[in-house]
Structure 1
């Protein structure tokens, strides 16, 4: 009897994510749940965008290359891209609003406008600006180097969800304890 009771209490904390076929489908499912925990602006000098080595995650079958991105400069500059040891560069510029960024070969050539969808110290997601029906690759998904080199794209997104699902546990535990205390006080009254 006690085992079933504990299982029922723990059930909300052991939710399993559904299986997703693509990176984009999983990001579409995950973003609404974690968006409130995101930093809102790319304009802060100490933002993770500038201080972290990012690994680009992909769901392309057979893609085994590790692409490491480092945003050099503040608000505008160069992105150092290292693909399995081969160094290349791209350019970027953060717009004045702080929630949009242009990334490409140069700012005005072969570049794309992205909106900040999510950013914290471990994860970075940009969503391409425009009509979703006309865009084949809507997201750029990056993980901190220590995470991105060890996990696949779906494991990384599961870790993102777990990071914030588990962060709410103490609040729920305190709420349950307070509710139990109130129930005991009412019972003894």
Structure 2
């Protein structure tokens, strides 16, 4: 009896995400929940911003994709990319607080993205445009310690868990407060 009561109390704090078939589908589901914890701008701190301070690993849900693709955004508009150590380069340009162009060069094989989520461990860009015409809707990056050891779904679960855990003390306080009020009302 006591075990069941503790299980029921702990149930809201357990992380039970459903199985998703694609990275895009999972990001669509979790973005509304975690968006409130995101940095608001790519420009806030200039060259000291998270975009430039963190080495980002690009995540992919393509079957059999095992390459660790490390992306380092440079203040001059260059992205240095190491694909399992083989070096490559791309470019980017920040357009305002929430928009960025990423591609081979500014106007060749490049796309406009909008900032969907940014913190010190996770970066998500959403491609601008009509979703019906877009094949790869998101660019999903994790910081190097996370992205080099986790798969895309494990990383997204970590993102949800990170902010779910931050809300837990308030939920626990609310629960205790409700119990105290119920006891006071009962004893009157």
| TM-based fold match above 0.5 | yes
- 1:93 and 1:130 map into 2 onto residues whose CA distance is 18
Other structure's SS at 2:92 match: strand
Other structure's SS at 1:39 match: coil
Asked whether the equivalents of residues 15 and 161 of structure 2 are also in contact (C-alpha less than 8 Å), the reply is no
Superposed CA deviations along residues 101-142 of structure 1, whole A, max 9, x for unmatched, are 000111122110000011110000000001111111010000
Moved over 6 A (4+): none
Pairwise CA RMSD: 1.2
Quote the residue 1:51 is aligned against.
53
Q: Aligned pair count?
A: 186
Task: Please point out which of 66, 69, 76 is paired with 2:68.
Answer: 66
Q: Which runs of 5+ in 1 are unaligned?
A: none
Other structure's SS at 2:71 match: strand
1:184 is displaced (CA, Å) by: 2.8
- 1:3 and 1:84 map into 2 onto residues whose CA distance is 48
Quote the residue 1:36 is aligned against.
36
Q: Spell out the pairing of 1:65-144 with structure 2 (5 A cutoff).
A: 65-73=67-75, 77-96=77-96, 98-144=97-143
Other structure's SS at 2:17 match: coil
Q: Which runs of 5+ in 2 are unaligned?
A: none
Asked whether the equivalents of residues 56 and 141 of structure 2 are also in contact (C-alpha less than 8 Å), the reply is yes
Q: Which moved more, 1:150-159 or 1:76-85?
A: 76-85
Other structure's SS at 1:146 match: helix
Other structure's SS at 2:57 match: strand
Q: TM-score, normalised by structure 2?
A: 0.95
